Structure 1
Amino acid sequence: VLGSLFLNCQDQIYSEEYSDFIGNRSLIESKYALDCKQPLGAMFASLYLKLSDGYEDGTVYGYYNIPKLFGLQDTGSMEASGILQVRENPDLKLDGSGVLIGFVDTGIDYAGSIFLKQDGTTRVIAIWDQTIPAESPIRLPELPTTLENITRTPEGFLYGSEFTHEQLNAAVKMEDTYEGISSRDENGHGTFLASIAAGNELPDGSFTGAAPKADIAMVKLKPAKNRLRAYYQIKEDAVAYQENDIMAGVLYLVSLAKKRQQPLVICLGLGTNAGSHRGGLPLARMLEELGSSVGITIVAGTGNETARGHHFEGQISSESGYEDVEIRVAEGENGFFLELWANAPETYSVAIRSPNGEVIPRIYVRPGRIEVLNFALAQTRVEVSYRLSVTGTGEFLALLRFINITPGVWTVRVYNDLFITGHYHMWLPIESFLRQDTVFLRPSEFITLTSPSDAANVISVSNYNHQNNSIYLYSGRGYTTDGRICPDLAAPGVGIEGFTSSLSGVGNELRRVQRSGSSAAAAHMAGAAALFCQWTRESGIRYFSSTDVRTYFIRGAKRDSSRTYPNREWGFGTLDLYGVFRNLQTQIF
């Protein structure tokens, strides 16, 4: 029986009355010894506190302490990626066997035929469903006597329910599978990615996942809390997940692979525009650390933010001293966060003009304060705060939170207070968090990649149309703001076939669909990485880290003679698994 402290913690994690925070693990464990906390690796931990004002008093917390919100990245590809050529090579015989591909996403319909073996069992070996509280009933009439009839949290975690391979197989045998274990993918995004990376090959040869014999593990994320959604002012119908839950999901997959002694490939099809786009968010920093560990390969899509009008790259001369940045706000927009980032030691300040001409003059930098500005005619409130040195990176940050914003063209006049280069960046939230027509009027097409694809030691993947060899219009572009090459590669991500949950919500059969987006490209790369990891394992070669795998895939990439590499759209070229092995020849070292 779970202890009262544990139950209390789980209740707090789900409760809308408690606010989630991310912080330094050692500091949280020493300062909040009696409070509910979830370790997130060696560096970080989640903390859950009951606060009457939620996140409103932002001066108390560091920028990275409040979890960021992440959205989904979707709006004959295997042959273009060199995957079929490798799979059909009799000397290699690769199909993903022995490798675990893990997803942190919307869940998976584990009983879909695209994931079943010939004996009727599922290749989904584990699910951590964060949306189902622990000690929920499992209704399996043929449940083996060795298994409990209630759910348990995964070892080392405080919430949600873990479903084992044995439990999932017992449910698959039932006439109504999801009556036994109710975890399924209502959205369809996670199922779609898993089918691309690891779906079965159909008997007629019309579809195959990249690694059709790989094992699959899924973390179904719980939706972001309403108080966090309200704090970030995202639109009502946006699908959003919390950074701390994603971090926990990644660590669950790492723990699972370690127990099973399998190489692990993690596919991340989520992204955010928060942060300075150089890998500074807690999730990105955790992935950077994990990506240097042998046996773990991490893949992330660069997002679908190019041509969305959500990045502004500013340049102020020493003579002018300021620059006007115009933002068109769409009808029906509630509000949003606007972030301005610059390298130390430079500092900046802002003034704001509403669409009807009302002006709030320059708000000078006052560290530790939130300036609340009320526009009488526009009936809009703007909260402005400055961070002279963001913890962990030392960068300058100006945060502008617009609440109940009036539609029209708003102007933010940006002043340079300490001139070195006069160079700065501003980002609006990702496309799915805003109305379509809320944009910068003079946006930049570069540095539109989303986090965590900006993390070091992660394989960052842009997406292209493999039918005509053109980059996808919305594919996130690099580089990072500190000049690292990102993306690493481009993979097919336009008009990609896969399988997703049925519209009816009943039965086990899935729908065959086509989708485009960054996450589809990431799934291609994840499946290709699984085949490579299978080869290294079966060849008796030591496991590789994410950085090692990236190096070999970059060497084997296809490169068009008409382009210069690396570049901001294609990175070092397009994914070509066959090229990886051709480049290796007979020697790996």
Structure 2
Amino acid sequence: MGEKINPELELAINSDAYTPGSNLYLGYDKTRDEWTLIIRHSGEIDDLEGTLVNESVYLLGGFAVIKIYTYNIYYLQLDPRILYIDKASYYSYGAERGTTASEQNTYARYAACLTDSQVGVMPVYGDGVCIGVIDSGLDIRNEEFCRDGRTRLLRYWNQNQNYENESGNRYMMGRIYDREELDELIAKGRNTGDVISTHGAEVTSIAAGSSLGAAKMADLIMVEQRLEGIFPDTISIMFGIDFLVRYSMNENVPLVINLSYGNNYGAHDGTGMLENFIDVVSRMAKINVVTGTGNDGNKRLHTSGILGNVSFDDLNIDVTGGVRNFGIQIWKNYIDNFDVLVYSPAYDIVLYLTEGQLPANGRFGSTHVYGIYQPPTPFNVQQLIYIFFQADTYIDEGVWKVRIMPKSIVNGTYNAYLPSDAYITGRVEFESANAFGSLTIPATSQSVISAASYDQNRDAFVGFSGRGFTSDNRIKPDIAAPGVGIVAAAGISDLTVVDGTSISAAFVSGAAALLMEWGIVRGNDPFMYGEKLKAQLIKGARQIETIRQYPNRYVGWGTLCVERSFEGL
């Protein structure tokens, strides 16, 4: 079709491989032959609606979400104002059930230098700062999110509710409640809806809970991300970010966005659509975006290598346990030229890919294999080879071999990624994996504060935490924060114990709100946001004694210590 189109989307359109629930067709409505897609554009494109485009939602920074019939996608990419057409991807939480029991998380806050005595020289609690959480939602009746008989939530966007015009919003999704409406619901003993997961309450209580949180006085906004329906997760995340940035701009309020999601789709060099969107809108307001590095450090979902001109490399993928579909991405330097062969567990050649070839497909048993060899895009010098495995029942178990055959190698470096096991059944992993480079996206974004986890009880890094650096060798993670055995809020009044980089990101979000209060709200430094705030957190980072070299791939510049970040201010 063209270099402006996401290769996964192009493969889906050309392969005629539609199966309900397939990851390849996320965002596709077969009954209407219509896609919900993300575009980046230049200038006004209102005239496209009603001709090539069925519906449009315009976002900040030259991005938009559109609905478009399949046959119009080719003509859309011919318009010079359209810079890129992308397909949405799944994202998963960066938290897991904790294995450590505890009555309270005082020590974790102490390790992050967040107790009242540690920041007592500059008593700040996040007053006048807003923390926006894009997550699974929470129960508004929980006392962790109330103060003086009122909710601390200024807005609650439930993206899972049915959209109604009379209470409409520019995104045409869900229902947005203001503070007065939330207080009325609480008075009636009601919530905004059924909350499927406690993850949103967990991270919000750690960042800003009235008793558990780092920024106890911060105002809150919750964006309960849509989990099902025609709007895939990437789109609902971008909607949430756009909504929060607009709030910060319109109300002139410093704001921290806590985004505890991640996935493996992309080059891991900051050039993906979501990463670009975050980088662009982060410069529009007094905000900071904080995200975890993901929990894939020990999950065998990333591998890499350096290819020579003589020998080939084999990427062996172990598939077990009733897997219906998955994709593998191989990213390489465009200057290198190699072919890719896919072998079945019986060692039959199922697929052959070479540069310049049209999308191809093959079959072994009940498994269909589709592949595309994509040239560089306008936003990425790296080249993607994408291979998708799918079966009507289950993919044939065993070791599938993806062989890289060199033709002309100059650089030789490549990275390969499998999807997070959070959104596939069964188990898919590389036999030979590389934990370095296991950061999830958008932790690879330039502008975000990327938070890894460490075990504050042992003062050591943990195996599950995603590790750097980025594929273009930038330093990520930026910092680490407590992430093991943390007590958090759940439900109306329950407590739970959790691990994960989501929790670490929440600590960093709370810490960012404290610095914003001191700088922006109190007038000590009106520029305490963005890269300056990130630098202040890094400056205060504490080194783990068992790790000698800094910055490093495990904890970045060190572990969060808010007390030291305030020194010298």
Structure 1 counterpart of 2:147, one-letter code: K
Within the candidate set 530, 533, 544, 2:516 is matched to 533
Q: Distance in 1 between matches of 2:268 and 2:475?
A: 12
> 2 CA distance for matches of 1:382 and 1:512?
45
Matched, 1:247 2:238: yes
**Post-superposition shift, 1:436?**
5.6
Q: 1:29 is matched with which residue?
A: 45
Residue-by-residue CA offset, 1:456-513 (whole Å, 9 max, x unaligned): 0110010011011121211000000111100000101111110112xxxxxxx23100
1:28–1:47 CA contact under 8 A, matched in 2: no
Contact 1:348–1:398 (CA under 8 A) maintained in structure 2: no
Verify the 8 A CA contact 2:351 2:362 in the aligned structure 1.
no
Aligned to 1:564: 549
Q: Match for 1:109: what amino acid?
A: D
In structure 2, what is the equivalent of residue 168 of structure 1?
182
Question: Mean Cα displacement is larger for which, 401-410 or 124-133?
Answer: 124-133
What is residue 82 of structure 1 aligned with on the other side? 113
| 1:501-580 equivalent positions in 2, closer than 5 A | 501=491, 509-536=492-519, 537-562=521-546, 563-580=548-565
Per the alignment, residue 192 of structure 1 pairs with 202
Shift of 1:250: 0.4
Answering whether residue 293 of structure 2 is matched by residue 302 of structure 1, we say yes
Cα gap change, 1:87 to 1:183, in 2 (>3 Å): farther
Which position in structure 1 is the counterpart of 2:67? 48
Q: Pick from 259, 269, 284: which aligns with 2:250? A: 259
Q: Deviations over 1:162-211 (max 9, x none)?
A: 1001111121111x323xxx33532111111111111112xxxxxx2111
- Equivalent in 62, 69, 89 of residue 68 of structure 1: 89
**Aligned residue identity for 1:249:** G
Quick one: distance in 2 between partners of 1:14 and 1:257?
Answer: 33
Whole-angstrom CA distance in 1 between matches of 2:476 and 2:241: 22
- Deviation per residue, 1:439-468 (Å, 9 max, x gap): 100000100000001000110010011011
Match of 1:107 among 127, 137, 158: 137
Q: For 2:213 and 2:41, how far apart are their aligned partners in 1?
A: 39
Match of 1:390 in 2: 377
1:133 corresponds to 2:189 = no
The one-letter code matched in structure 2 to 1:121 is: R
Q: Percent identity?
A: 27
Measured in 1, the distance between the counterparts of 2:93 and 2:47 equals 35
Between the aligned partners of 2:330 and 2:542, the Cα distance in structure 1 is 37
SS at 2:508 equivalent: helix
Question: Per-residue CA shift, 1:325-379, capped at 9, x if unaligned?
Answer: 1110012011201000012222332111111222236432235x2101122xx22
Give 1 or 2: higher strand fraction.
2
The DSSP-based 3-state class of the residue aligned with 1:190 is helix
Alpha-carbon distance change, 400 to 256 in structure 1, aligned in 2, over 3 angstroms: same
Asked if 1:283 corresponds to 2:299, the answer is: no
Cα deviation for residue 438 of structure 1 reads 1.5
1:135 deviates by 2.6
1:316 to 292, 301, 307: 307
| Contact 2:468/2:554, CA 8 A, preserved across alignment | yes
Which residue, 412, 420, 434 being the options, matches 2:410?
420
Question: Is residue 2:474 matched to residue 1:484?
Answer: yes
Residue aligning to 1:177: 190
What is the alpha-carbon distance in structure 1 between the residues aligned to residue 236 and residue 500 of structure 2? 23
Q: Cα distance 1:436–1:54, how it changes in 2: closer, same or farther (>3 A)?
A: farther
The whole-number CA distance in structure 1 between the counterparts of 2:341 and 2:94 is: 34
CA offsets per residue over residues 379-423 of structure 1, 9 Å max, x none?
211101011213311211100000112111111111233311211
1:122 Cα deviation from its structure 2 partner: 0.4
TM-score (norm 1): 0.83
Note if contact 2:516-2:529 (Cα within 8 Å) is conserved in structure 1: no
> Contact between 2:354 and 2:373, CA under 8 Å: does it hold in 1?
no
Q: How much is the aligned-residue C-alpha RMSD, in angstroms?
A: 2.6
- 8 A contact 1:87–1:93 mirrored in 2: no
- Which sits farther off after the overlay, 339-348 or 211-220? 339-348
Q: How does 1:401-416 map to 2 (within 5 A)?
A: 401-404=388-391, 405-416=395-406
Once residues 122 and 533 of structure 1 are traced to their aligned partners in structure 2, the CA distance between those partners, rounded to angstroms, is: 22
| CA 357–560 in structure 1, closer or farther in 2 if over 3 Å, else same | closer
1:93 to 117, 123, 132: 123
Single out whichever of 280-289 and 25-34 deviates more from structure 2: 25-34
CA spacing shift, 1:399–1:225, aligned 2, 3 Å? farther
Displacement of 1:88: 5.3
- Structure-2 residue corresponding to 1:292: 283
3-state secondary structure, aligned to 1:83: coil
**1:370 match:** 359
103 and 79 in structure 1: CA distance in 2 versus 1, 3 angstrom threshold? same
| Secondary structure, aligned partner of 1:525 | helix
Seen in structure 2, the aligned counterparts of structure 1 residues 436 and 87 have a Cα distance that, compared at 3 Å, is farther
Question: Gaps (5+ residues) in structure 1?
Answer: 1-12, 137-149, 202-207, 229-240, 502-508
Q: Which amino acid aligns with 2:518?
A: W
- TM (norm. structure 2) is 0.86
CA distance in 2, matches of 1:54, 1:394: 23
Is 1:19 the counterpart of 2:62? The answer is no
1:461 to 438, 451, 474: 451
Could you tell me how far 1:29 is from its partner in structure 2? Answer: 2.1
Shift of 1:220: 1.1
Is the CA contact 2:487–2:495 (under 8 Å) kept in the aligned structure 1?
A: yes
Is 18-27 or 405-414 further displaced after alignment?
Answer: 18-27
Tell me the distance in 1 between the aligned counterparts of 2:341 and 2:279.
Answer: 37
Aligned equivalents of 2:109 and 2:265: distance in 1? 33
Q: 8 Å contact 1:301–1:519 — kept in the other structure? A: yes
In structure 2, give the amino acid aligned to 1:78. Answer: R
Q: 2:220 aligns with which of 192, 216, 232?
A: 216
Equivalent residues of 2:481, 2:560 under 8 A apart? yes
Report the more deviating stretch, 25-34 or 285-294: 25-34
- Cα gap change, 1:546/1:183 in structure 2, threshold over 3 Å: closer, same or farther? farther
SS at match of 1:24: strand
Aligned to 1:379: 366
1:38 maps to a residue whose letter is V
Q: 1:159 aligned to 2:173?
A: yes
State the distance in 2 between where 1:435 and 1:197 align: 32
2:57 is matched with which residue? 38
Give the whole-Å Cα distance in 2 for the aligned partners of 1:30 and 1:347. Answer: 41
